[in-house]
């Protein structure tokens, strides 16, 4: 049986593991991402992590067919280049990701593939996770940001310029400071009035503060704790963000008509306080033929992007 090494390359940490041809994650390792040291340093650290896994795989008699990477940033999957990226990884934009790794690992360029990390996450869930066995699935991740991926016939739809899946950067009527007539809220992309400005984790904390919540409350996790205790501002901030998430998800289901919708990210793990209003808003948004579309919680947790990145090799 052939095996692949899947890599989940993020701004804080990089995780990699050996994935079997049938999607089983056999073993994995994690290392800090040297995100302030520049793109070449990140490639060095990633190559070292992969090299260690190759040695272990060889010792266990496992044949490695190639390396797949799910990376932060917009990834030109055809050339294996980081087209653009936030400052989560300094100097990441413009990095020759696949060629850089292949050269460091002594592999032919075609042995290394890369996509954006959310696409890898969705591919993992469609292969061995919540959407396993489906012909199509839409994954939306609600966390520090908002991203998504539509997987069709076992492949993520990347878009002509590889920018597909930027769910968080579509317009939302919830992304206004004081209702629809208020000022559009700024988005991390530099625009305003977008889903991410209303439905992400940081958006919940910002909304809590706008509603008069105490500035001593440090983060979104603390807002959820207050909401569970009945704090009005915290409850409203969480509920509004959940509705924004549900409306955005419902609109995309209307456009794409996936077999299933998979919801992932930190907010998906926040419990019924978020899930109940999110699902109610989603159902209100759906066209009649879609009202029973399954809405599933992602099931692979931190291994999803590693498994999905491994799938790139077998694709």
CATH value at residue 68: 3.30.420.40
Q: Domain check: are 107 and 66 in the same one?
A: yes
Tell me which residue has tokens 């460091």. 104
User: Are 164 and 181 in a shared domain?
Assistant: yes
Residue 292 half-sphere exposure toward CB, CA atoms < 13 A: 1
Question: In angstroms, rounded to a whole number, what is the distance separating the alpha carbons of residues 168 and 188?
Answer: 9
229 and 153 inside one domain: yes
Please check whether residue 80 is in contact with residue 112, taking contact to mean a CB–CB distance below 8 angstroms. Answer: yes
| Closest by Cα among 56, 33, 59 to 69 | 33
Q: How far apart, in whole angstroms, are the C-alpha atoms of residue 302 and residue 292?
A: 28
- CA-based radius of gyration for the chain: 20
SS3 of residue 207 by DSSP: helix
pLDDT-derived band at 87, boundaries 50, 70, 90: confident
Residue 157 and residue 230 in one domain: yes
Residues 189 and 89 in one domain: no
The set of residues, in sequence order, having a beta carbon less than 8 Å from that of 256 and lying 6+ positions away, is 136, 138, 150
Same domain assignment for residues 241 and 145 = yes
Same-domain pairing of 148 and 293:
yes
Model confidence band, residue 180 (pLDDT cutoffs 50, 70, 90)? low
Q: How far is CA 48 from the centre of its chain?
A: 24
The reported pLDDT for the residue numbered 182 is: 80
DSSP state of 229: T
pLDDT tens column, 32-54: 999 999 999 999 999 999 999 99
pLDDT tens across 248-260, in order? Answer: 999 999 999 999 9
The pLDDT assigned to 1 comes to: 84
Give the predicted TM-score (pTM) of the model. Answer: 0.94
Does residue 8 contact residue 306 with C-beta atoms inside 8 Å? Answer: yes
Which pLDDT belongs to residue 181?
64
The SS3 of residue 162 is coil
Average pLDDT, the chain: 96
* Residue 43 sits in the same domain as residue 84: yes
Q: How many domains does the chain have?
A: 2
**pLDDT tens digits, residue range 116-170?**
999 999 999 999 999 999 999 999 999 999 999 999 999 999 999 999 999 999 9
Shared domain check, 139 and 90: no
Sheet containing 136-142, strands listed edge to edge, beginning at the edge strand earlier in sequence = 155-156, 146-152, 136-142, 260-264, 295-297
Residue 197: phi, psi to the nearest 5? Answer: -75, -10
183 secondary structure, DSSP code? P
Residues 140 and 260 in one domain: yes
Q: Could you give the CA distance from residue 257 to residue 79 in angstroms, rounded to a whole number?
A: 30
The reply to whether 282 and 144 lie within a common domain is: yes
User: What is d(CA 91, CA 41) in angstroms, rounded to the nearest whole number?
Assistant: 10
Residue 217 structural domain = 134-298
Alpha-helical (H) ranges within the chain are 39-59, 97-105, 117-128, 196-199, 201-210, 220-228, 232-256, 272-285, 304-314
Question: Both 119 and 150 in a single domain?
Answer: no
């Amino acid at each position: 049986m052939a095996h692949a090494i899947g890599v989940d390359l993020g701004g804080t940490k990089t995780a990699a593991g050996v994935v079997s041809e049938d999607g089983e994650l056999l073993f994995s390792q994690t290392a800090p991402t040297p995100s302030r040291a520049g793109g070449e340093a990140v490639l060095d650290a990633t190559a070292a992590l992969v090299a260690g896994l190759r040695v272990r795989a060889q010792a266990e008699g496992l044949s490695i067919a190639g390396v797949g990477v799910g990376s932060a940033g917009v990834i030109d999957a055809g050339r294996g280049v980081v087209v653009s990226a936030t400052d989560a990884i300094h100097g990441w934009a413009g990095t020759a990701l696949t060629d850089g790794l292949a050269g460091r690992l002594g592999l032919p360029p075609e042995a290394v593939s890369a996509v954006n990390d959310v696409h890898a996450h969705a591919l993992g869930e469609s292969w061995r996770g919540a959407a396993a066995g489906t012909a199509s699935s839409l994954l939306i991740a609600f966390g520090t940001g908002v991203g998504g991926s539509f997987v069709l016939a076992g492949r993520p739809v990347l878009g002509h310029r590889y920018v597909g899946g930027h769910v968080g950067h579509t317009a939302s009527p919830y992304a206004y400071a004081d209702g629809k007539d208020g000022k559009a809220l700024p988005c991390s992309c530099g625009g305003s009035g977008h889903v991410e400005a209303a439905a992400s984790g940081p958006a919940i904390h910002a909304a809590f503060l706008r509603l008069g919540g105490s500035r001593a409350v440090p983060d979104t996790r603390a807002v959820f704790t207050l909401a569970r205790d009945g704090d009005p501002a915290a409850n409203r901030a969480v509920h509004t963000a959940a509705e924004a998430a549900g409306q955005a998800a419902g609109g995309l289901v209307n456009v794409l008509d996936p077999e299933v919708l998979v919801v992932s990210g930190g907010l998906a793990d926040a419990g019924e306080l978020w899930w109940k209003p999110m699902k109610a808003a989603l159902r209100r948004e759906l066209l009649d033929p879609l009202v029973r579309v399954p809405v599933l919680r992602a099931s692979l947790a931190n291994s999803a992007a590693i498994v999905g990145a491994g799938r790139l090799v077998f694709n």
